[in-house]
Amino acid sequence: MRRLVQENILALLLLALFVAILVMSFGYGPRARMVPVPISVLGILLTLAQLYWQNTRPEDDLHVDLLQVLTKEDKSRPASPAPDVPEPDRAEGGSIWVALGFVGALLALMLLVGPFIGLFLFITGYLTASRYGNLLLALGLAASMSVALYLIFVIGLQLQVYHGVLDPVVRSLGL
């Protein structure tokens, strides 16, 4: 998918968000909506301006902003340098869907079995799947990390531990 299409989709989502907030704000009292309404309206105007801008300029100028046009800067000058994001090294980099997957996996594990067991399982699984050493090394690192975090957060900082959605099931099995 071309970059311009992606930018347009994102801008349209933002526009929908601001419109939704504006509509919801009218359901509140005058004082409660005093600031949300003008901010939403400002957001809508800015997003429309961004949509107009990014669709009327060549795609390679996406990082040049309305500011330059308003002040009539020479268009032949190089655009403001884009943030220095290196091109992903295809040999080393991964897929965004996998990245979303492991964030989701850690989240799911913490919700199901609690934070500490969840992170132990996640670290073990991640290190094993990424082939960082063998399973024994992964288990050792995961266990060390879990114990260290338990000592800091639970013993040191008196954190109340959440046992996970599956805790009643585990207890009913007598484990």
Partner 1 sequence: MLLDAIGSGLLQLATPQAMLFMCIGVVYGLIVGILPGLGGIVAMALLLPFTYGFETAATLALLLGAHIATIWGSSVTSILFRVPGAAKSLALCFDGYPMTQQGRAKQALGASGFAAMLGGVIGAIFLAISIPVVRPIMLALGPSEYLMMALWGLTVIATFSEGTLIKGMIAACVGVLLAFVGMDPVTATPRFTFGTIYLLDGISFPVAMIGLFAVAEMMKLYVKGGKIVEGDVSDETSTVMEGIRDVIRNRWLVLRSSLLGLWIGVLPGIGASVGGIAAYAQAVQTSGPDEQFGNGNVKGVIAPDATLGANEGGGLMPTLAFGIPGGESMAILLVAFINLGIAPGPQMLTDQLDVVFSLIWIVVIANVLTTGLGLLAAPWLAGLPALNPKIMIPLVLSVCFLGAYATRGMIEDVVTAAGFGVLGYVMDRYNYSRANLVIGMVLATMIERNLQISLTLYGDWFIFTRPITTAMFAFVVLTICLPFWRSWRKRRAAEARA
Q: Hey, which residues between 16 and 75 contact partner 1 (CB under 8 A)?
A: 17-18, 21, 24-25, 28-29, 31-32, 34-36, 39-40, 42-43, 46-47, 49-50, 53, 63, 65-68, 70-74
Binding partner 1 by CB under 8 A: which of 23, 55, 93, 135?
Answer: 93
| Alpha-carbon span 9 to 72, nearest angstrom | 28
Q: Which residues of 80-94 are buried (b: 16+ CB within 10 A; e: fewer)?
A: eeeeeeeeeeeeeee
58 phi/psi in degrees, rounded to 5? -60, 150
The answer to whether 118 touches 164, Cβ cutoff 8 Å, is yes
E strands along 15-103, which residues? none
Q: Which is nearer to partner 1, 160 or 172 (CB)?
A: 160
Shortest gap between Cβ of 67 and partner 1 (angstroms)? Answer: 5
Among 152, 168, 169, 171, binds partner 1 (CB under 8 A): 152
Query: In whole angstroms, how far apart are CA 76 and each of 64, 72, 80, 84?
Result: 12, 11, 12, 21
Binding residues for partner 1 restricted to 108-147, rule: CB under 8 A: 110-111, 115-116, 119, 122-123, 126-127, 130, 132, 141, 145
Under rule CB under 8 A, residue 172 binds partner 1: no
- Please report, as residue ranges, which positions from 73 to 92 form the binding site for partner 1 (by CB under 8 A): 73-74, 77, 80, 82-86, 88-89, 91-92
Nearer to partner 1 by C-beta: 20 or 171?
20
Q: How far is the CB of 175 from partner 1 (least distance, A)?
A: 21
Q: Are 4 and 59 in contact (CB under 8 A)?
A: yes
**Closest CB to partner 1 among residues 39, 135:** 39
Residue (55 or 130) nearer to partner 1, CB: 130
Cα→Cα distances 11→23, 25, 44, 100, 116, Å:
18, 21, 10, 21, 38
Task: Compute the least distance from the CB of residue 121 to partner 1, in Å.
Answer: 10
